Amino acid sequence: MSFQVRVRFRKALLRRSEQFFFIVGFVLLGLCAVILAQAWFFQAYESWAFEQELRGAPLPSSVPNLPKVDFELTADRSIVGRMEIPRIGLKAMIREGVSHRTLALAVGHIPGTALPGQTGNVGIAGHRDTFFRSLREVHPGDAIILTTLGGSYEYRVESSEVVAPRDTRVLENSSRPELTLVTCYPFYYVGPAPERFIVHARRAAGD
């Protein structure tokens, strides 16, 4: 094979490679857009339906009823309530469970932890690149409001820390009403993050 033939072959191979990676990148961007759109529509609908339930307004017959939460035992994927941190603009519906499907659409109540309003440690997990992206901006004293069909409860941030993924002490039960938020860390890490970012909060006095 002559030198010119080899050069032409390499150029053709590079062009094909560029086309291939362009197509792959375009497909991946499309998948990301679909996932984000699905999460947005889920949040929009569930937030609307949740507001209807709070107001006691009946849902249209063509719309399935919002799953009721039994505050003794919640079913996986049922709606637990809504979480808000006003200062950082965080607002998300809370779904029961921490499966991949659940965390793709909402933040998840960690099974085995207390439910909002109960005495004990309420555990809520979320992805660092979606719903909990702004959690890096949280400060001590920030209000965290959990609203359920049983009531609205305000917690105040006390501290934050970074722990190893297997450090489950942060979710240990407590004799006082607490809230623990869990997400991956670092926030801008590419790939599976090596650590966890934890926010500790306590229910506001008199709430």
**Residues assigned a catalytic role:** 127, 184
| Closest listed residue to residue 181, CA positions, set 121, 99, 111 | 121
Q: What are phi and psi of 169, to 5 degrees?
A: -60, -25
The tokens of 204 are what?
């506001």
